[in-house]
Amino acid sequence: MSANLAEQFSRLPDLLAAHMLLVAAALAAGAAISLPLGILCARSPRLRGPAVGFASTIQTVPALALLALMVPLVGRIGFLPAFLALTLYSMLPMLRNAVVGLAGVDGAVREAARAVGMTPAQSLWKVELPLAAPVILAGVRTATVWVVGMATLATPVGASSLGNYIFSGLQTRNWTAVLFGCVASALLALALDQLLRALESGVARRRPARAAGAAAGFAALILAAIAPALLPASSSAPAAGHAAVASGPAPSLAGRRVTVGGKPFTEQYVLAHLIAGVLEDAGAQVRLREDLGSTIAFDALIRDEIDLYVDYTGTIWASVMNRDDAAGRDAMAVRVAAWLLDQHGVTDLGRLGFENAYGFAVTRAAAQENSLASVADLNRLDGLSIGGDPEFFGRPEWIAARDAYGLQATRTRPMDSTFMYGAVRDGAVDAITAYTTDGRIDAFDLVLLADPAGALPPYDAILLLSPAAGADRALTDALRPLLGAIPPGAMRRANAMVDLEGESPEAAAAFLASEIGISGEPAAP
Amino acid sequence: MAVVQLRNVSKAFAGRPAVADVSFSVAEGETVALVGESGCGKTTTLKMINRLIEPDSGELMLFGEPAEAAPAPLLRRRIGYVFQEIGLFPHLTVAENIGITPALLGWDKARIAARVDALLDMVRLGASRRGAMPGELSGGQRQRVAIARALASQPSLLLMDEAFGALDPLTRHDLRSDLKAIQAEAGFAIVLVTHDMAEAAILGDRILVMQEGRVLQDAAPAELIARPADDYVAHLLAAPEREAAAFAAARRGHG
Ligand SMILES: Nc1ncnc2c1ncn2[C@@H]1O[C@H](COP(=O)(O)OP(=O)(O)OP(=O)(O)O)[C@@H](O)[C@H]1O
Ligand SMILES: [Mg+2]
């Protein structure tokens, strides 16, 4: 078994447990709402239209959008918004099948139930529900398969799931991880589906033993998978062990729990691991919350849900401060820091030393052929198409660049950032809005076009701390060695290790740490 | 004391009268047969007696009290009902179907089992069919289970809607005499709906002839045959004789 595959297996217990916990909780809550609601609807048909209509409407909202919408609604990231979205999503099949199943019970049989002396409740429990059970269970089955699949999309709102394999694998071009996540979630859906099918046929054929066996299997599978999540975390202890054997003075952050956030792309994974290493050396217990959506990470920070993460001045300037005017690199850094502290109590500890800006990139061959040197020169190309991450084309700087260089007629092709470098290399698009620290710029022989109008703002990497974390002297002291320590070349090489050489983000972080002289070893006195 | 008493009971469906101004009573141990054309309101009348259908107007007394005095489910546990559509519970076994009302009344298991065995014997279904599902039975066998179910809780009143319709003539004959025998012993009253005039005359102490929701005539069989209220009643009551004549003619034709 390759090291990569072994690495994926080692993450499985935690991610599977988190995934199952999410699925089981959402299904339980969904069933607890839908089944009684279905019974009410069967009793009073006036309720049926609105209830089924509501559930159907939820179903038409794209799953990812529904998950993302829950974050502002509940005002936090993590398990809760994912749980709520999945619960809503699971309702339609269960509600619809409960309504249809109960309505399908023969009227003569319901009348017979009254005639033998049953109360309405007895008729429901002894006659109508048993007769509708196969249809109702089929609805539970559908909901289960849907929710297992949809739970993989919970990763960007900060809930761990098997989707972590897929999202981080996609960003780091680790196709083994992507495939692993897909297969694991498909197998899980299949296993649960088969158990529910056995339960359903046991109920339909009135084999109580078979039905009970399947139900027990279903419960056991869920419990076994969830168990690691419910047991006290024993795996996050290595830092404490390390500290215990250290002979020097007690580490400054001993016992402190620190949550490091990150957005879903390679550089962020590498930086998150780098920071985690520094903090663990100081004795902290670090928890990583990677794969947070761009603005979700910031929202989590101001609510103290994560302690720190790395953002970029231009992102804060445009997406958080909603400014669309230009500013020089240093001026922007100063104003961003002041604004963050003033408006949100967020501490901008300082710049890491490199910029990860957007830059228009073309192949060297295309640049030479059409003598492209500046963004304005792109107008020489017929039917110009530009690829970029979906976020970029929604930002003010795209509007600014478009208007400054007359790119109005350009076809924009939003795509995942992982794919855009290959797309320009292979000629699928003429230019891309590259990240200037991406290792693939050198590797694919791309050139960055000049921006004489200064339309693209600076993107200095800055270390942001939540209001609580910013007040922690020991923590800020431990992090300070990172400031100004990472030159652009080192960052680009670390990114290339992951994106081009298939190394893990941890390995790239270790390389970066030794490169900038803050290696995992405790500093010599 | 009258077990059932209807006074000026009416029921309309969507403005169309199904039962209009019907009055009659049934004494303890008595059997009353409801006859009449299809759609004349027999089933509606029967269902109003155990309150499956609530009348629009009129008064219903059950066991000497106004029908609304007790909760309907409790009343129904004292009244056996055999449906025209049979209405067995498809998810319960034959034994569970028969034992359902005793179970609702809280009888213990042994007593229910003994009762179920006695009834299976009475309706001539072997004890081997105890565990069968209704779907595995023939139409006639299902009807016999329905009759057994209606009798299970030793009711004071038995309502039967074409309860013998799906049975072969021999079983029908046997079941009728058995029913008469148990009735003589247990003393419950019966209201039965039938299209078979011979059956009405054999089982009924009285026959009620209905037409378009109204009672045309209410009399003992002999009285009814001797003095029919009008041509319609006379024609209806002559049906068995017309059939016998037709049967005799067929036999001659083949003989
Ligand atoms: N639930 C109902 N809704 C509307 N109309 C009904 C309903 N039940 C009965 N009716 C109508 O009331 C009238 C009497 O019906 P009922 O079932 O009492 O007839 P019946 O004498 O039992 O007929 P049959 O011998 O065919 O069983 C019929 O015209 C029927 O269409
Ligand atoms: Mg009828």
pLDDT in tens, A129-174: 999 998 999 999 999 999 999 999 988 787 888 988 888 777 666 7
Q: Is the pLDDT confidence value at B84 over 50?
A: yes
Cα A323 to chain centroid distance, Å, stands at: 26
H/E run at residue A312: strand A308-312
Atom of ligand 1 nearest to the CA of B34: 21
Q: Is the pLDDT confidence value at A240 over 60?
A: no
The per-residue pLDDT for A31 is: 93
Q: Which residues in A lie closer than 8 A to residue B88 (C-beta atoms)?
A: 109, 112
Atom of ligand 1 nearest to the CA of B210: 21
The Cα-based distances of B136 to A69, A271, A338, B90, B132 in angstroms read 53, 70, 82, 10, 6
Q: d(Cα B221, Cα B33) in Å, to the nearest integer?
A: 10
Instruction: Say which amino acid occupies A328.
Output: G
More confident residue, A204 or B20: B20
Q: Is the pLDDT confidence value at A42 over 60?
A: yes
Atom of ligand 1 nearest to the CA of B36: 21
Q: Is the pLDDT confidence value at A250 over 60?
A: no
Q: Is the pLDDT confidence value at A457 over 50?
A: yes
Rounded mean pLDDT of A123-130?
Answer: 93
Q: Per residue in A312-351, pLDDT tens?
A: 998 898 888 888 787 888 899 999 999 999 999 999 999 9
| Burial bucket for residue A30 (CB in 10 Å: 0-12, 13-18, 19+) | buried
Q: What is the least distance, in Å, from the CA of A80 to any CA of chain B?
A: 41
A257-261 vs A285-289, strand pairing mode: parallel
Q: Which bin fits B86, alpha (ψ -120 to 50), beta or left (φ > 0)?
A: left
Q: Which residue of A has its CA nearest to B75?
A: A117
Rounded mean pLDDT of A224-250?
Answer: 47
Q: Which residue of A has its CA nearest to B155?
A: A116
Q: Is the pLDDT confidence value at A378 over 50?
A: yes
Q: Is the pLDDT confidence value at A237 over 50?
A: no
Ligand 2 centroid from CA B46, angstroms? 9
Q: What is the least distance, in Å, from the CA of B252 to any CA of chain A?
A: 44
* Residue B254's pLDDT band (cuts 50, 70, 90): low
pLDDT > 90 fraction of chain B, expressed in percent and rounded? 64
Q: d(Cα A356, Cα A461) in Å, to the nearest integer?
A: 7
Q: Which CATH superfamily is domain A358-448 in?
A: Osmoprotection protein (prox); domain 2 (3.40.190.120)
Q: d(Cα A333, Cα A319) in Å, to the nearest integer?
A: 15
Rounded mean pLDDT of B144-148?
Answer: 93
Nearest CA-CA partner of A15 in A226, A261, A272:
A226
pLDDT > 90 fraction of chain A, expressed in percent and rounded? 39
Average pLDDT, chain B: 91
The per-residue pLDDT for A230 is: 63
Q: Which residues in A lie closer than 8 A to residue B105 (C-beta atoms)?
A: 117
Question: Do the interacting molecules here have an ipTM over 0.95?
Answer: no
Rounded mean pLDDT of A289-316?
Answer: 86
Helices (H) and strands (E) in chain A, counts: 23, 10
Rounded mean pLDDT of A367-372?
Answer: 90
* Residue A364's pLDDT band (cuts 50, 70, 90): very high
Q: Which CATH superfamily is domain A257-355+464-515 in?
A: Periplasmic binding protein-like II (3.40.190.10)
Give the lowest-confidence range in A69-78, A263-272, B228-237: A69-78
Domain boundaries, chain A: 3-230, 257-355+464-515, 358-448
Residue with the smallest CA separation from ligand 1 atom 6 is: B13
The per-residue pLDDT for A365 is: 92
Q: d(Cα A295, Cα B84) in Å, to the nearest integer?
A: 68
Chain B residues 143-162 with a CB less than 8 Å from chain A: 149, 153
Q: Is the pLDDT confidence value at A245 over 50?
A: no
Q: Taking the CA atoms of chain A, what radius of gyration do you get in angstroms?
A: 27
Ligand 1 centroid from CA B45, angstroms? 10
Model pTM above 0.80: no
Nearest CA-CA partner of B160 in B49, B72, B237:
B49
SS3 A303: coil
* Residue B147's pLDDT band (cuts 50, 70, 90): very high
Do the first three CATH levels of A257-355+464-515 and A358-448 match, i.e. the same topology?
A: yes
Give the lowest-confidence range in A10-14, A262-266, A414-418, A425-429: A414-418
More confident residue, A240 or A180: A180
Q: d(Cα B163, Cα B139) in Å, to the nearest integer?
A: 12
Cα end-to-end span (Å), chain A: 42
Residue with the smallest CA separation from ligand 1 atom 31 is: B39
Rounded mean pLDDT of B207-230?
Answer: 92
Give the lowest-confidence range in A263-267, B43-47, B131-135, B187-191: A263-267
What does chain A come to in residues? 525
Q: Is the pLDDT confidence value at A286 over 50?
A: yes
Q: What is the least distance, in Å, from the CA of A138 to any CA of chain B?
A: 18
Q: d(Cα A222, Cα A241) in Å, to the nearest integer?
A: 32
The per-residue pLDDT for B71 is: 93
More confident residue, A415 or A108: A108
Q: Which bin fits A262, alpha (ψ -120 to 50), beta or left (φ > 0)?
A: beta
B42 lines ligand 1 (CB under 6 A): yes
The per-residue pLDDT for B122 is: 86
Q: Per residue in A385-434, pLDDT tens?
A: 898 887 787 777 788 888 889 888 788 888 777 788 888 998 889 999 99
Q: Which residues in B lie closer than 8 A to residue A206 (C-beta atoms)?
A: 91, 133
Interface with A, mutate which of B100, B133, B161 (most A CBs under 10 A)? B100
* Residue A238's pLDDT band (cuts 50, 70, 90): very low
Q: Per residue in A463-475, pLDDT tens?
A: 999 999 988 888 9
Residue matched to tokens 């409790």: B74
Average pLDDT, chain A: 85
Nearest CA-CA partner of A417 in A397, A391, A442, A395:
A391
Q: Is the pLDDT confidence value at A235 over 80?
A: no
Q: Is the pLDDT confidence value at A88 over 70?
A: yes
Q: Is the pLDDT confidence value at A218 over 80?
A: no
| CATH code, A3-230 | 1.10.3720.10
Q: Is the pLDDT confidence value at A503 over 50?
A: yes
Q: Taking the CA atoms of chain B, what radius of gyration do you get in angstroms?
A: 19
Chain B residues 190-209 with a CB less than 8 Å from chain A: none
The Cα-based distances of A173 to A143, A248, A249, A411, A413 in angstroms read 31, 41, 42, 26, 20
Rounded mean pLDDT of B109-130?
Answer: 91
Residues 6 or more apart in contact with residue B77 via CB below 8 angstroms: A116, A117, B101, B104, B105, B153
Q: Per residue in B28-52, pLDDT tens?
A: 999 999 999 999 999 999 999 999 9
Q: What is the least distance, in Å, from the CA of B12 to any CA of chain A?
A: 19
